A and B are shown apart, each in its own frame.
Chain A
């Protein structure tokens, strides 16, 4: 079964929607890509610093404890969330067939958000942070991000309420979820941390916030993209709607319970890490069902992903999501968690979530959206290929080295009669892998930012055919089909 061809009126309507989202969405994408470059550079420098602790000793800004939070803040708030918001806005407008109103408000929110990110990155870098990963900024910074996000939610929800189809798409459900859940976890964590006299809960809340950001915000946004792009490019409906709904609600009811399993055996009532661990394991079901659903939708069209950049990035992102869910479930059991807890494995896991599944899926969306809102095609398919492969090599290098390095480090830590420093010495070779990975990711995103800047400046390729990864003359027809046009 294939979807019907759009009529000229529908094409006109879509073009109008795309025009209405152009400036806000491009603003979010370009500033996100710029922050991504900053984040990958900080990731590279912090990894080098971790391998060579004596380097640049005199300089306060070059200590790992300052570089790493600045890297995380710029990667998550600067890149991931901004790019995600841009995608949410465009997808919601297209799915509900509404033009984006209040563009000025969204642009104000975008500037406010960038101000918040700048403060968050520089305060943690310049020594005003609080050592809580991803919430590592002074108290006065979070209202910038919080208020800005609420302004964006105020733009997204009315579109959903005024949608012009009676059917609710799965992608819409995920976007509404992501829109409402983020402020909830962000405000809860920031309001409660440091309040009352529950010092231990501050660290617990931070761990809860990190995994909730991954399962309650990153996963929904990435899945909204996948549920849009995969059927669109394959040209057929989703394999199973009931399965999509069931896995949505399964994820929704489990995600909020995760997080405390990062402190198994920590100073919490024992049921809290146990419940979190169980939730992380059951989430595996939701993720497996979702990824199966998407792959079944694609069945028999695997050739397309060789040509379509959007599909290639999205499918890779979904495979990484499945990998993440499996590894997260393993490390929440006592038998694996004992050794993996607090090791390099954790960094590998968090980066797998932020870069492996979230960013790769979002790249897919950006390669799909930007030509539509700027009315031009990507200048070079070769650069897209560079971006894909170096990102892939980078993230796989990072995951494998951090995973194996984490196991090695955790094993050395468990040998309690060995000198402690053996765990550092033996794992430092793997940190070289982490540095190499960030170097590759930095290189790949350089070509991404370059292309995006060309598109932003209106220097895209003016042509009726989409830019594909392999554009040999003989394959033009299958390529056209591949792009869903």
Chain B
């Protein structure tokens, strides 16, 4: 009688857990792991003549993924998302530059394959700062990106971003600051954030 109640309880708990584990976690996980790059149809013109979406080399800046590690370690994802929601779920695409290059008709919501180059896609927790999915299209030079990290309020006086001075050191030649290897890697990573590669089979209207 006793062990009976025990077995029943454990069995019930196991079923209650196994269902979402398999259907919500394991199957989508495997599905996503097995996603393959989608080739472009012949004749579809895309930036720089790429063969497939996603293209691993297209927007990459720098050699390693050290910058992504710095981004994670500094906790950037607590204030910055990397999600552009489709219009039914929020007005993200209406904000200038968030969805990608509007002038070329390439702005769109983010898709699972956009994150393929990263080990962990940091979709984010809160949106205290701007969405960074396409920040590489908005801030295009290293100087400006460094200035943003070192002194954000010199660009926008109302910015709520802390200055990341600990990623820089005082220049030995007197004035100014010098980026460390961490800052350079982080800038590489931020400049590479462009999630608007044209989707195969979708005709773009702009440009």
Contacts and interface: CB of A to CB of B under 8 A. Distances in A.
A129 B72 contact: yes
A450 to B, nearest CB: 32
Interface string B2-44: 1101100110110011011100110011101101000000000
Contacts of A414: 90-91
A260 interface: yes
B116 to A, nearest CB: 7
Contact of A199 (B92, B120, B129): B120
B73 A128 contact: yes
A190 to B, nearest CB: 12
A264 B109 CA distance: 12
A199 B116 contact: yes
B85 A196 contact: no
A18 B20 CA distance: 38
Contacts of B88: 265, 334
Contact of B25 (A132, A192, A269, A344): A192
A290 to B, nearest CB: 16
A326 interface: no
Contacts of A265: 83, 85-86, 88-90, 92, 109
A86 interface: no
Contacts of A132: 77, 120, 122
A144 to B, nearest CB: 20
A267 B83 contact: yes
B134 interface: no
Interface string B146-173: 0000001100101111111110000000
A184 B16 CA distance: 12
B72 A208 contact: no
Contacts, number: 227
B105 interface: no
A38 B13 CA distance: 35
B192 interface: no
A163 B83 CA distance: 50
B142 to A, nearest CB: 21
A264 B87 CA distance: 11
Contact of B159 (A53, A208, A264): A53
A59 B166 CA distance: 7
A53 B85 contact: no
Nearest to A173: B9
Instruction: Please classify the interface of chain A as helix (H, G, I), strand (E, B), loop, or mixed, using the class held by over half of its residues.
Output: helix
Nearest to A259: B24
B178 to A, nearest CB: 15
Contacts of B156: 419, 421
A362 to B, nearest CB: 22
Nearest to B86: A265
B73 A256 contact: no
Given A129-B72, A267-B112, A200 B164 contact: no
A263 B127 contact: no
A267 B114 contact: yes
B6 A160 contact: yes
Nearest to B125: A133
Interface string A308-351: 00000000000000000000000000100111011110110000
A338 B128 contact: no
Interface string A115-139: 0000000001001111111001000
A403 B152 CA distance: 28
Contacts of A69: 75, 78
A65 B79 contact: yes
A181 B109 contact: no
A413 interface: yes
B110 interface: yes
A200 B115 contact: yes
A128 B182 CA distance: 13
Interface residues of A, number: 87
A103 to B, nearest CB: 24
B31 to A, nearest CB: 8
B13 to A, nearest CB: 6
Nearest to B76: A65
B66 interface: no
Given A163-B2, A199-B118, A346-B126, A63 B74 contact: yes
Contact of B110 (A128, A184, A267): A267
Contact of B112 (A168, A268, A347): A268
B160 A424 contact: yes
Nearest to A260: B24
Contacts of A194: 119-120
B95 interface: yes
B81 A342 contact: yes
A1 interface: no
Contacts of B200: none
A193 B121 CA distance: 10
Nearest to B71: A131
Contacts of A2: none
Contact of A256 (B12, B21, B29): B21
Contacts of B152: 53
B163 A57 contact: yes
A66 interface: yes
A127 B164 CA distance: 13
B151 to A, nearest CB: 9
A329 B164 CA distance: 38
Given A266-B83, A272-B24, A54 B153 contact: yes
Interface string A413-452: 1101101111011001000000000000000000000000
Given A200-B112, A265-B109, 5 more contacts: A184-B21, A199-B120, A265-B90, A342-B81, A342-B124
24 contacts: A63-B162, A64-B79, A68-B78, A131-B73, A131-B75, A133-B125, A163-B2, A173-B9, A181-B17, A184-B17, A188-B21, A192-B29, A193-B120, A196-B29, A196-B32, A198-B29, A199-B116, A199-B121, A204-B123, A256-B20, A263-B83, A264-B90, A424-B158, A428-B160
4 shortest A-B CB distances, which residue pairs?
A65-B75, A265-B89, A265-B85, A256-B20
